[in-house]
Structure 1
Amino acid sequence: MTEIRTPRLLLRRWHDDDLAPMAEINADPEVMRWIRDGSVRDLESTAESIERWEEEWDDEGFGLFAVELLASGELAGFTGLSVPGFLPEVLPAVEIGWRLGRQFWGQGYASEAAHATLEFALQDRGLDRVISIHQVGNDASENVMRKLGMVLERETVDPVYGMPLRVHSIDLTEFHA
């Protein structure tokens, strides 16, 4: 089983008891504001998402990690790797992404988890390049991307929702562990 420990976090595969707290995160309009069209997700759609994320682990050898706080055992959200099929113009590519519950914002958890995931992608999984995509205006995510050393590669538009997007990237030669 793939696990990564950071000073404050455990990045791990999904457990059955992660469903309710992840559904609570997905039901928060403020959390979902910058995700696709901003729609919240219910328990059923969260369960379907977790199932897809676990399938991606099996199919690709990477996926979205559940992010657990070491101090409390609470599920903070996710970070991890996925293939951004919703944006065909960037394929083939692997994207790093994250989503944390609002109570976990502003504490450096997203940066800590994303840095560990990026190191996993480039050093453990042998990827030579990783991208990250955010909606224009989502400054918090863009700040995490900059902290990772990612640079703006292009601006584009979500082909389904018409939202302006920015694609950032980093390759193995630019990454500093």
Structure 2
Amino acid sequence: MAAMDEAKENADSLLQDIQKKITEAFDIFDHETNKTVDVREVGTIIRSLNCCPSEAELHDMLAEIEEEEPTGYIRFEKFLPMMTTVLIERRYKPSPEDILLKAFQVLDAENKGFLTQEELKKYMTEEGEPFAQEELEEMMSAAVDPEKNCIMYKDFVSEMAVDET
């Protein structure tokens, strides 16, 4: 019976850790300290918790937790159980480094080892699920090597990749 008690304690501890992380991330954006956040901030909160849903997946998540009459705000009491399930089930995990590198190599048709800002902008705004201008600017500020004025994607990929712990 001791082993079962220990397993339950470990599960409870893991659940508490997950819910603490969710609460801390939510609270950063709860500017009114009234346990609500602007619906436009939810994607940032989710991504800060190391989840990378597509815009369509994010839209589905919001639909699940939004009020029946949308208010423009998401309540913590609805966000917490949904996000707890997402983290426990390890949904929307970021891509590992080797997959990210292969994606950049496909874009680098000439195998130069880098992409120009113009190339990256074209791919991020004209292909697949396009980036918004703000997302593009944020990515460029992180991705562009200031000395070479291009994206040295091997370096960038290692910064983007998240170690699984």
Q: Normalising by structure 1, what TM-score?
A: 0.28
Q: Relative CO higher for 1 or 2, CA cutoff 8 Å, sep ≥ 6?
A: 2
**Higher-strand-fraction structure:** 1
**Higher radius of gyration, 1 or 2:** 2
> Quick check: which one's helix share is greater?
2
